[in-house]
Each structure stands twice: as C-alpha cells, then as structure tokens.
Chain A
Amino acid sequence: MNALTAFFAALNNPNVPFIRYALFAGLMSSTAFGMVGGIVVVRRISYVAGAISHAALAGLGASLYFSEVHAVHWLTPMLGAGIVAVLCSWIIALVTLYAAEREDTIIGAIWAVGMATGLIFIAKTPGYVDAMSYLFGNILLVGRTELRIIGMASFVTALTVILFYPQIQSLCFDETYAETRGQPTAFFTLLLYTLSAVTVVLMVSTVGIVMVIAMLTLPAATAGLVARRLQTMMVLAIALCALANTAGLATSYYLNVPTGPTTIILSGALYLVTLVLRTAAKRLRRGM
C-alpha cells in the first residue's frame, strides 16, 4: 500500500513531471497499440512491425546528428523516427505487393540497414549520446512536445481504424475475397503498414526500439487468447496495454529499475499466465 501511495504522491509532485508524462504517454498510446496490435497479430505481420521499429533508429540517429551538427532543431528524434518508420513501412508494403522479391529478405535488410545507419549517425554526433536510452527506452525522453505528438497520433490512428473497421476486418480475414468485392486491397495494405509504423514510434521513447514490438503484440496476443471477435480483441488489448504501462511505471518507480523492461516483463507475464489459465480451463472442460 505504501508503494502505491508513494507512486500517487510522485504523480502529483511537480518536481518529477516526467512520471506524469510517462503515465499519460502510456495511457494515450495504448489505444493505438491495442487496435493496431490486434490487426498486426491476426494479420501475422509482427515481423514487419519489428523491422519498422528497428529501422526507426536511422531516423532517431539522423535527427540527433542534424540538429547537433546542422542545427536542424525542428527535427526531433521522435519525428525523425516517425518519418523513417513510415518510409520503411511503405518500402516493405510496395515490395510485398508488387516486386517478385521474398518478403522476408526485404524485411531483414530494412531491419539491419536501418539500425546500422542509426548507429553511424549516433557515432558521428558530437558530444555524448546515450544510445542505450533509444534502444531500450527512457521515460525521461518524453517531454511536453512528445506528449502532444503521442496524443494526436494516437487519436488519428484510433479514428482511422474505427472509420475503416469493416474494410480492415474484411481484408485481414480474406484478402483475395476482399479484392473480388472491389476493395482496393493494395491501398488498405499500405494503410495498415503505415498505421503500424506510426504506432510503433509512439512508445519508442518509453520502451525503446528493441522492445517496442513486444508492446504491440503481447497485449493483443493475450487478448486473442480469450476474445472471439476482432473488435473485442482490440478493446481488451487496449485495456491490457494500459494496465501493463501503468503497472510497469509504478513497479519500476517502487523498485527503482528501468520502466521499459519492467513494462515488457509484466506484459509477457500477463500473456503467459493467460495462456496457462486458458489451457487449464480447456483441459478441465474436456475432462468433465
């Protein structure tokens, strides 16, 4: 109980605004993560999201470099990551749709080349840049500007999913059939990849480039264990994601450990426990 009281006190403490920012960032981006995570899981494109998030390091590195060396200060790390993530998602989508190249080859290439580019930019940026913060997350990276971007992008992402829900559901369930219904499947594939790219970047600051993919897939996969409809899965995933973010922040504050890894571990534990419970419930029912 003391731990919770201390956490709430910290939330109200004007001297540590970053805890409040991290909480809001987690809660707001959870909407986008739950919805897009559901899509990524049922469409089985988590490896695409993985490539996009890792490649975003190129954008992070480039924005650090250009703002330091060429004084391009409007290019914040999050914006740079977002631009590169969206571009990479388009490359993967277009190659998958139109080129006769194997999807996994291009995904591997984007994944590694993106990270390599980012690391070189960081190495060439004068002064000390903590690459670890970007790779594994640091809640101190979330300021008011980031919070505003996260809020807006989450809202637009959620709105897009709600607006196009029947079309997205149809595409995810049976793409060929959607095409025979005259649905522009290439456009929607591009849209889904773009949404994944935008979403992934929203939590890059708090959980880091390497682990953000887990926040996209773990709550959605947990929800998928119990939900029988895509929309139920999305709503549940939003709740689980928000829960993991909040509990992760509180726990890490109490134990004085990094927030990102704590949040990821909690999400993974939630998934495992749900999986075990569901399997046990099924066996019990069959046994009766």
Chain B
Amino acid sequence: MAQKRFPVVTARNLSFAYDTAAVLQGVNFTAYAGEMIAVIGPNGGGKSTLIKLILGLIEPTQGSLHVLGKRPSVARGEIGYVPQYTHFDTRFPISVREVVLTGCTRPVFGRHTKADKAAAAGALERVGLSDRALDSFAELSGGQQQRVLIARALVSDPSILLLDEPTANVDAFMSDRFLELVVNLATDRTVFFVTHDTGYVSEESDRVFCINRSLVEHPVAALRQDLVHATYSQPVRKVLHNKHIDTTHMTL
C-alpha cells in the first residue's frame, strides 16, 4: 500500500494488569495511517484489553500509548469502535437510525444536526441497511444489529476503526461479506480487526498482530499455515478477492 508512513497508534513497552494479574506485558508496535491490522490470539490473550487501552477506557499500568500523538482519552473523537460484547438491553425502545446517531452525539450539550442525520443515512447505506433505518433496533437479527453497530462506529467518520470480534454472532456467509466491507473501510482509515477463532487473515491485511500476553507481529506473507495451526490447532481460512477458499490442506 502506497501510504506515507504516518504513525497513528504507538505503544512503547505497554503493560496492563487487572489488580495483579498481568494481561499485557511489554507490548511495542506502531500502526500507520491506512493500515489494516488483523489482531489474532487465543481467548483471554488480551486482545479486547488492547482495544480498550487504545480507546482510553482503561489506563496502562506501565509504558506509554499514544493515539495520533495524543493521550487515548483525548483522541477518542477520532476513533470508531465496535465492541465485542453488547452490554445494552436489546429490547431498548430505539430505532436503527437513532442507534447510529448515538455515534455522533455531542458529549454534553446539543442535538443532532442535519449533517449528523445525513451521515447516519450514509453509514447505514454502507452496511446495506438503508431500508431499515426507521425500524426498531430490537426487531433486527443479531447479524443486522452488528451491522448497525458498525454504522454507529462509522457515522463520525473516524480515522481509526477498532472492531473487536465483529463477526462473533454473524454466520459464515455474512462474515465473508463483512470482511469485504471491512476491507473497503480500510482503504482510507486505520483498522484494527480483532478475531480469535480461526484468524480471519485477509490478503488485504497489511499486518498481523498475534496477542497472547505479549505481542508478536507476523508479516502477512510469512503467516504460514503450520505456524497458525500450531497456535490454534485449527485450520486457517484465507479470503482472496471475495472468494472464500479453504486452505486447510494448502501450503501457503
């Protein structure tokens, strides 16, 4: 990818612990503008923790983390986020469009503007849900709700997108479409795409971070099947230009 190498997220000797149990230790990386980074690793490896650190929802216990040269909590406005777990009540009385609009709600004061509503319509269009804008969020399927949450993350036109296992409750067909969408989104922003299952490693991913307490980076080209297999004891799937190819018995 022909990008000027502009650092967007920088971690230096980053560590985090809940109470005393270390979750992340000595993590170093720099993510550059326009990169699509696949974040893989076993359950409990610390992927969501890294995402929350980048969002500024939790503070590092050691080391430094900068987003666009600023403290994470200051740079939040530049970040779009799709959480792994939905803590909200799925029967909450709210329309699809209103959910998307919460992505650009003023922090303290002020209502949604015409521009906000146009952005919400645009975001819903990108995830293919324009026709459901006025429906109740509660009436959508799990996969559709997940797409609404992606639209919510897109509505503020963030330069960084953090997707924490966005395909967790999306079926296999949808999740390939999903990947297409994510790849499209990554053309003009930095994307962290977290996944734990078989490692959704797209050809379009620029880099792969494997997180298990520490961070090990794998260039996509070097991501050999036996390596991933050894990490997960599971087959790898590879997506090539929207065609889904099972690479279980392929040598990369």
Residues of B within 8 A of A (CB): 55-57, 76-77, 79, 81, 83, 86-89, 92-95, 98-99, 101-112, 136, 152, 156
Contacts and interface: CB of A to CB of B under 8 A. Distances in A.
Contacts of B106: 166-167
Nearest to B92: A173
A227 B92 CA distance: 10
A173 B102 contact: yes
Nearest to A232: B93
Nearest to A188: B108
Interface of A: 42, 44, 163-167, 169-170, 172-184, 187, 224, 227-230, 232-233
A228 B95 contact: yes
A182 B93 contact: no
Residue in B87, B107, B156 whose Cβ sees the most chain A Cβ within 10 Å:
B107
Given A178-B105, A180-B81, A230-B93, A166 B76 contact: no
Contacts of B79: 180
Chain A contact surface mostly:
helix
Contact of A184 (B87, B105, B108, B110): B108
B51 to A, nearest CB: 10
Given A174-B87, A176-B57, A178-B102, A224 B107 contact: no
Given A176-B57, A177-B81, A181-B103, A230 B108 contact: no
Contact of A177 (B77, B93, B102): B102
Contact of B136 (A167, A184, A228): A228
16 contacts: A163-B109, A164-B109, A166-B101, A173-B102, A174-B88, A177-B102, A180-B55, A180-B76, A180-B79, A182-B76, A182-B107, A183-B107, A228-B95, A229-B94, A230-B92, A232-B93
A205 B99 CA distance: 39
A177 B92 contact: no
Contacts of B136: 228
A166 B105 contact: yes
A241 B79 CA distance: 42
Given A166-B112, A175-B87, A177-B83, A184 B95 contact: no
A177 B88 CA distance: 10
Given A182-B77, A184-B108, A173 B95 contact: no
A176 B153 CA distance: 13
A224 B94 CA distance: 11
A181 B76 contact: yes
B92 A172 contact: yes
B33 to A, nearest CB: 21
Contact of B98 (A167, A176, A181, A229): A229
A229 B105 contact: no
B93 A167 contact: no
Contacts of A227: 93
Contacts of A163: 109
Contacts of A177: 81, 83, 102-103, 152
A88 to B, nearest CB: 25
Nearest to A182: B107
Given A42-B89, A227-B93, 10 more contacts: A42-B93, A163-B109, A173-B94, A176-B87, A177-B103, A178-B105, A181-B107, A182-B77, A184-B108, A230-B94
A166 B87 contact: no
A176 B87 CA distance: 8
Contacts of A179: 57
